Structure 1
Amino acid sequence: MKIAIHGRNFSVQTKPYVQAMFDDLVERQAEVQISHGYHEFLNFAGVAHPFQSTYRTPEELFDADFMLSLGGDGTLLEAVAHVGARQTPIVGINIGRLGFLATVAPTAIKYMLHAIVNGQFTIDERSLVSLQTDKDIFEGIPFALNDFTITRTEMSSMITVHTYLDGQFLNSYWADGLIISTPTGSTGYSLSCGGPVLLPHTNNFIITPISPHNLNVRPMVVMDSCQLSFEVSSRSGNFLVALDSRSRTVDASTRLSVQKADFSARLVKLNDDNFLNTLRSKLNWGFDIRN
C-alpha cells in the first residue's frame, strides 16, 4: 500500500493519535511519502517514524493509493492541489476546526486505516472549478475545490466585475469582489456572503457578490456546464484573484474565465459518514440552548 501524507501543525494533545497512525503504517509495511514541510514538523514534534521519502512539488509526488490529509479543511484543499489530475483518493483527518471536508476524527484514525485497507469506504466525487487566463497565474495549478474569487486589493476602492455567461453579458458587479463557488464551496466563503447551501453533487456554480453596492444584486445559481468570463475595472489598476486559499495580484488587463474542470477531487468517505449529519452538526441546525 502506497500512502502520501500532507498535514499542518498539531497540538500536544493530538500527537499520540498521529504517532499511533505512523506506528500502524509501519506495522502494515506501507510505502509512505510525506510533504516536505510536514516531514520537518513531524521531526520537530518528535513523532517517530522511519519514512524519509518527501515531496516538495506536485510533480515529485508518487502515485499513491491514498493521500492522508491531517488538519482542517484548508489542509485538505492543499492536498487537492497536490494531487490534481492524478485524482488520488484523499482521506481528510480533522485535527483542525470546522471540518466540512475533513471528517475523520483523530480518535478514529486506526479505524480509518482498517477501513481503507479492507475496502470499507466509498469515493465521493467532487467537481472543481478551473481557471483559464492569458497568463500562468497559479504556476500550473489553475483549479480549486471550493471557489474562485475576484476581490479588490486592501488599499483599493470597490471594483467592477463585468461578468459574461457563455459569452452573453450577465451583469456588472460593483462590489468588493465576486465569488464563483462549487457546490462543495457553498458552505465556505460564499455562505458567509449570503450564498445558498448546495448538496455536494449538484451540477451548479454559485455566483456570489461580496458586499455589492447595489443591494438588489443577489447570489445566483447557474449550471456548471457554462463558461463564466470576466473583465475587471479597478481604480488601482490591479486586483486579487484566488483559487481556494491561493491568491495572486494581477493587473486590470488580465482576461479571466472559469468552467468546470475535466477531472474531480475524490474524497474517501467511511461508511458512517453522512453529509447531512455533518451539515446539521457544523451549522448547529436545530441547536437551542433552551433545550
Structure 2
Amino acid sequence: MKIAIFGQFYHKHSEIPVEILLKHLLKKQADIYIERHFFDLIHDELENDEPYYAFKTFEVLDHTYDLLISIGGDGTILRAVTFVKELGIPIVGINAGRLGFLATIPKEHIEQAIDDILEGHYNISERSLLEISTTPENKTISEMNFALNEIAVSRKDTTSMITVETSLNNEYLTSYWSDGLIIATPTGSTGYSLSCGGPVITPDTNSLVLTPIAPHNLNARPLIITDSTEIKLKVSGREDNYLVSLDSRIATIDNDTVLTIKKANFSIKMIELLNESFLKTLRKKLLWGEDKRN
C-alpha cells in the first residue's frame, strides 16, 4: 500500500502521535511518502530521525497513492484536501489538535486504527465540496477554487457591515446586512456555520446551509437548500473590497464582483473506522446525551 502522510506543524501536541505513527508504519513495511515540508519539520525537531530516512517525500499526489494520513487537527485535513483534489484518495485524520470532528483518531488508538485500515476494516464516507467562480476572474481563487467545509464572505478593514445580495438559481433571495455570509456543506455544518447559529447536518444529506454572520436584519435566519442550487453573491460596503475564505484559504475580492457558488463535481473520501460514526462523534465532541437524566 502506498501511503502519503501530511502535517502542518510539529510541536508538543503532535510529537507523540507522529512518533507512534511513524514507528508503527516502519514495522508494517508500507510504502510511505511524507510531504516535503512536514518531513523537514520532523528532521529539524527529532533528535534521532535516522530510522525515518527510509521514508520518501512528496510535493504533489497522483493516482498511485492508496491513502493519505493527516496528522494534526481538522484544519490540517482541510489543507490535506488541497493535495487530494479530485484524485479520490481516501483520507484519514489522526487528532493532534483540539476538537477533531474530522480528525477523529486519538493518539491512544493510532496503532489499532492503522492495522484496521491496512486490513480493510473501515467504511468510506463521501463528502461533498463547494466550488466558486468569480466575474471578473480572480486569479487567487481560480487556482484553488474549492472548499470542503465552507465558503464565506466577510468584511475587511472596517467595522461597518457589508451587504450580501444573494440569489438562488438566478432568483433573488435577500440582501444580508451583516458581517458576512457562510455557505457550508454538511461537513462544514459543524464548523464556522455552527458557531454562528447554523444547524448540524449529517454528512450524507444532499444539502447546503446559508448562515449569516451577525446579521443586522434580525429576521434573517440560517437557510437549508438543496445542494443542486447555484448561489450568486454580490457584496457591497463602505470599503472597496472584502474577504472570501475557502476553508482556511483567504482571498481579497473587489466590491461588485459576482461570486457563483455551487456543488463541486467531485467528492472527498473520508475513512470511517467501523467503531466510529458521525452520531458517535456528535455525542463525543458536542457532549450530546450528557444530560444527567440520560
The answer as to 2:242 corresponding to 1:271 is no
Quick one: distance in 1 between partners of 2:185 and 2:242? Answer: 22
Shift of 1:7: 1.0
| CA-to-aligned-CA distance 1:172-211 (integer Å, 9 cap, x gap) | 1111000000011111111111111111111111000001
Q: Structure 1 residues 116 and 32 mapped into 2: Cα distance closer, same or farther (>3 Å)?
A: same
- Find the counterpart in structure 2 of residue 175 from structure 1: 178
- Verify: 1:259 aligned to 2:278, yes or no: no
Shift of 1:219: 0.6
**Kept in 2: contact 1:90–1:267 (CA 8 A):** yes
Distance 2:197 2:15 in 1: 37
What's 1:116 paired with?
A: 117
Q: In the superposition, relative to structure 1, how do residues 149 and 12 fare at CA in structure 2: closer, same or farther (>3 Å)?
A: closer
Other structure's SS at 2:283 match: helix
1:204 aligns with 2:203: no
* Match of residue 84 from structure 2: 83
Query: In structure 2, what is the Cα distance between the partners aligned to 1:38 and 1:52?
Result: 12
Cα distance between partner residues in 2 of 1:14 and 1:137 = 31
Q: Given that residues 3 and 32 in structure 1 are in contact (C-alpha distance below 8 angstroms), is that contact kept between their aligned partners in structure 2?
A: yes
Give the structure-1-normalised TM-score: 0.93
Q: 1:145 aligns with which of 139, 144, 148?
A: 148
Which residue does 1:65 correspond to in 2? 66
- 1:101 positional shift: 0.6
- Mark the CA change 1:92 to 1:115 in structure 2 (over 3 Å): closer, same or farther: same
**Residue of structure 2 in register with 1:2 after alignment:** 2
What's the CA shift for 1:139? 5.2
Rounded Cα–Cα distance in structure 2 between residues aligned with 1:51 and 1:15: 19
Does the CA contact (< 8 Å) of 1:156 and 1:236 recur in 2? no
Q: Is the 8 A contact 1:14 1:106 kept in 2?
A: no
Q: Which residue of 1 aligns with 2:29?
A: 29
- Cα RMSD, aligned residues only: 1.9
* Structure 2 segments unaligned to the other structure (5+ residues): none
Q: How many residues align?
A: 288
Aligned to 1:189: 192
Question: Secondary structure in 2 aligned to 1:226?
Answer: coil
Cα separation, partners in 2 of 1:250 and 1:24, compared to 1, 3 Å: same
Contact 1:156 1:235 in 2 (8 A): no
The 2-side partners of 1:16 and 1:132 are apart by 41
1:284 corresponds to: 287
Residue 289 of structure 1: CA displacement? 7.9
What's 1:45 paired with?
A: 45
User: Contact 1:150–1:242 at 8 Å: present in 2 too?
Assistant: yes
Q: Corresponding residue for 2:57?
A: 54
> The residue matched to 2:224 in structure 1 has which SS?
strand
Conserved in 2, the CA contact under 8 Å of 1:67 and 1:88? yes
TM superposition score normalised by structure 2: 0.92
Q: Deviations over 1:61-106 (max 9, x none)?
A: 2431000000111101111121101121001101110011111111
Q: Report deviation, 1:33.
A: 1.9
SS of the aligned residue for 1:8 comes to coil
Q: Output the CA distance in 1 between the equivalents of 2:75 and 2:17.
A: 20
Instruction: State the SS of the aligned residue for 1:137.
Output: helix
Q: 1:34 to 1:167 in 2, by over 3 A?
A: same
The alpha-carbon deviation at position 12 of structure 1 amounts to: 4.1
Match of 2:187, as an amino acid? T
Aligned residue number for residue 96 of structure 1: 97
Rounded to whole Å, the distance in 2 between the matches of 1:215 and 1:268 is 40
- Contact 1:4 1:68 (8 Å CA) reproduced: yes
Cα distance change of structure 1 residues 99 and 232 upon mapping to structure 2, 3 Å threshold:
same
- Give ranges in structure 1 of 5+ residues lacking alignment: none
